[in-house]
Amino acid sequence: MLTPALAYVLLLAGVPFVLAIMLSFSSATAGGLEFHWVGLRNFREILPDPVFHQAIINTILITIVSQIAVMILATISALVLDAGIRGMRVFRFLLLLPWAVPVSLAALAWVWMFDSTFSVVNWTLRVLGLMHGWLYWFGDTTLALTAVIVVDIWRMFPFATVIVLAGLTSIPQDIREAALVDGAGFWRRIFEIEFPLIVPIASVAVLFGIAFTATDLTTVYLLTNGGPYNSTQVLSTLAFQRGILGGDLGQGAAIALFLLPVLALATIILLHFARRTEIGS
């Protein structure tokens, strides 16, 4: 009975993955059909490349920082939604908009918001008296990386909120009532009762968030295109530029394969942590 589902997964993910591995050991180009085996040459060429090193650092940095912020915001939003305040349906609708909007349209909207001349972010900061100069978001290496992280947080935290909220609503009501009878305060209920119970479910949100953020191409490509001076390059954009735009499919596939050990390690750690937490509870 599982055969159709397994065949679908193998065709959808397995075949492209095997093809990427084969391309990484070849000299294949986008302009021809020739396929010559070159062994580890593509890997030897990219390992000393400083742009490749920067792409690895940026991928890890953006993923870690954005996921920490996403889970903090998602937990706060889920607690507010779980409180049953009036108007929660409207709030839930507005909360899910960033996840529902196509990423290309959202990224283009953020490009205008961070524009060096018409930036609504800069004008808002000036009106509030928080800034006296002018920020050129895509002209400064630190600000450009900050802009990418902000957009990633904005895109991912609605999805994480839905998952965390599902975990909160699955907590049996008798547990909460018992905590109230025992005199547990708000913060004690959150950190000692509710939070430990939703850790396995929150781990799923973190796992999906890491996978989506680490492999995301559209956000960085539309916001900064890896600039300025390759300071915001991530592995997905670098693989796209070298493999598709540059025509070197072999090197592009080799760069993309470096995402595999990072995601595999993160998956193993999170699943192991969630399993231990579930057994402990």
Contacts 24+ apart (CB under 8 A), 40-47: 42/250, 42/251, 42/253, 42/254, 43/254, 45/251, 46/251, 46/254, 46/255
Pick the closest to residue 83 from 239, 190, 221, 192 (CA basis). Answer: 190
Domain edges within the chain: 49-280
Phi, psi angles (nearest 5°) of residue 248? -95, 85
- Tell me the C-alpha distance between 273 and 277, whole Å: 6
Report the topology of domain 49-280: MetI-like fold (1.10.3720)
The DSSP 8-state label assigned to residue 30 in this structure reads T
Give the DSSP H/E element, type plus range, for residue 111: helix 103-113
pLDDT in tens, 71-81: 899 888 888 88
Identity at 276, one-letter amino acid code: R
pLDDT in tens, 196-240: 778 878 888 888 888 888 888 888 998 898 888 889 999 999 999
Q: Which pair of tokens denotes residue 122?
A: 């800069």
- Tell me the C-alpha distance between 233 and 226, whole Å: 4
Q: Which pair of tokens denotes residue 1?
A: 């009975």
Instruction: Decide if pLDDT at 180 tops 80.
Output: no
Pick the closest to residue 203 from 192, 195, 215 (CA basis). Answer: 195
The separation between CA 264 and the C-alpha centre of its own chain, rounded to angstroms, equals 15
Mean pLDDT value across residues 149-176: 85
| Residue 52 vs residues 242, 248, 275: alpha-carbon distances, Å | 11, 15, 34
What's this model's pTM, rounded to 2 decimal places?
A: 0.84
Split at pLDDT 50, 70, 90, the class of 34 is: confident
What is the per-residue pLDDT for 48?
92
